[in-house]
């Protein structure tokens, strides 16, 4: 199983329960920047062969969005942490 999926789901639950909804319009920028930085980090690490993939996916569609180099769950965790 993909451990990033479970981490992503837990971070979404924490985001929905702990976020301050009145300040979300200000905090959303931090989440977007954090997701962009994580996406660049993952992309550069994949291109430089710094990662070794050991986990099998969850039979997700063969789209670039769910590939090892663009892990939407990893970027989603960075987005949720950036909002806090």
- Report the distance separating Cα 75 and Cα 70, nearest Å: 8
Q: Which residues contact 66 (CB under 8 A, 6 or more apart)?
A: 57, 60, 72
The reported pTM is 0.67
pLDDT greater than 70 at residue 5: yes
pLDDT in tens, 24-72: 888 888 888 988 888 888 788 878 888 776 655 555 556 565 565 566 6
First to last CA, the chain: 27
Cβ burial, residue 81 (10 Å; 0-12/13-18/19+): middle
Identify the residue with better confidence: 6 or 16.
Answer: 16
Asked if residue 69 lies in contact with residue 43, where contact means CB atoms within 8 angstroms, the answer is yes
């Amino acid at each position: 199983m993909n451990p990033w999926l479970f981490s992503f789901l837990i971070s979404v639950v924490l985001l929905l329960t702990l976020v301050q909804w009145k300040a979300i319009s200000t905090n959303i920028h931090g989440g977007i920047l954090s997701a962009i930085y994580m996406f660049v980090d993952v992309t550069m690490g994949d291109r430089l062969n710094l990662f070794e993939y050991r986990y099998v996916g969850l039979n997700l569609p063969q789209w670039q969005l769910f590939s090892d180099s663009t892990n939407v769950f990893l970027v989603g965790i960075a987005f949720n942490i950036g909002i806090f």
